[in-house]
């Protein structure tokens, strides 16, 4: 009698576990899809976001004043064309300007200004999101940036017409958009409506613009940076 009771109890426990497993796996899938749908809905409702101008200044050891300004900053998240919860898409704009002023003791030999983006993804699903039901998401991970004019902006200026990079969860990827050598006391780069697309990312994607202005003399090397306020894509 005790043996029969034990077998019956074991059978009931096994059936209960199978039932819980059948219920739990679809529930996990539904939760993930719902989270992705909410994230996509938020992106679809987004409007262009103007960001505050940023400014930084420093005085070199030999007396030069370096000023760096980032202006016309904006980010415009849009619904992605693939209509997937794992892709974020948008357009960003920025103008960066660097100037050298004052009367330094040593002549400026070289200098440059650089503009770029920093992008972070919360959860990487590039290796696939398998739930034991035959579903798989995220064939590849990466960032693609395009829409920046391929022509030179002035002497020795260059911007990248199309950029692809890989990001990992919990990290920040820095992607230069353009660089211009300093030929006079002032240099600037303007990028309008640069297309940004992030694939295979579940959860928020954060972006911010940055700029660097660097000057070198016979006696010192100096750099100043500015960063926009972070915003969501």
Tens digits of residue pLDDT in 36-89: 444 444 444 456 789 999 999 999 999 999 999 999 999 999 998 888 888 888
Q: What per-residue confidence (pLDDT) applies to 166?
A: 67
Report yes or no: 119 and 205 within 8 Å, Cβ to Cβ.
Answer: yes
Report yes or no: 213 and 221 within 8 Å, Cβ to Cβ.
Answer: no
Query: Is the pTM here over 0.85, yes or no?
Result: no
Q: Which domain holds residue 202?
A: 2-232
Q: What per-residue confidence (pLDDT) applies to 197?
A: 87
Residue ranges for the chain with pLDDT beneath 70 = 1-47, 123-144, 146-170
Q: What per-residue confidence (pLDDT) applies to 27?
A: 39
CATH number at residue 144: 2.60.40.1650
Token couple for 4: 């029969």
Domain tally, the chain: 1
Q: What per-residue confidence (pLDDT) applies to 17?
A: 52
Measured CA distances, 9 to 4, 5, 21, 202 (Å): 9, 6, 18, 42
Q: Going by C-beta distance under 8 Å and a sequence separation of 6 or more, which residues neighbour residue 6?
A: none
Q: How far apart are CA 157 and CA 182, in angstroms?
A: 9
Quick one: how far is CA 137 from the chain centroid?
Answer: 21
Q: What per-residue confidence (pLDDT) applies to 100?
A: 98
Instruction: Please give the backbone phi and psi of residue 8, each rounded to the nearest 5 degrees, phi first.
Output: -65, -40
Token couple for 179: 């660089």
Q: How far apart are CA 143 and CA 124, in angstroms?
A: 12
């Amino acid at each position: 009698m005790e043996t029969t009771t034990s077998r019956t109890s074991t059978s009931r426990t096994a059936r209960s576990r199978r039932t819980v497993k059948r219920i739990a796996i679809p529930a996990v899938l539904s939760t993930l899809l719902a989270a992705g749908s909410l994230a996509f809905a938020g992106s679809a409702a987004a409007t262009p976001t103007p960001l505050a101008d940023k400014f930084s200044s420093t005085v070199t050891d030999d007396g030069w004043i370096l000023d760096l300004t980032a202006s016309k900053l904006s980010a415009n998240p849009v619904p992605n064309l693939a209509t997937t919860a794992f892709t974020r898409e948008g357009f960003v704009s920025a103008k960066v300007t660097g100037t050298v002023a004052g009367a330094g003791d040593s002549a400026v030999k070289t200098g440059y200004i650089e503009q770029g983006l920093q992008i972070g993804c919360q959860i990487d699903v590039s290796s696939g999101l398998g739930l034991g039901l035959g579903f798989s998401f995220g064939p590849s991970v990466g960032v693609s940036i395009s829409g920046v004019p391929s022509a030179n902006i002035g002497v020795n200026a260059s911007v990248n017409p199309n950029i692809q990079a890989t990001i990992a969860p919990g990290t920040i990827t820095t992607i230069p958009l353009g660089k211009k050598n300093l030929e006079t006391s002032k240099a600037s780069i303007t990028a309008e409506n640069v297309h940004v697309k992030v694939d295979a990312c579940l959860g928020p994607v954060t972006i911010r613009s940055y700029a660097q202005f660097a000057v070198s003399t016979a006696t010192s090397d100096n750099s100043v940076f500015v960063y926009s306020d972070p915003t969501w894509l």
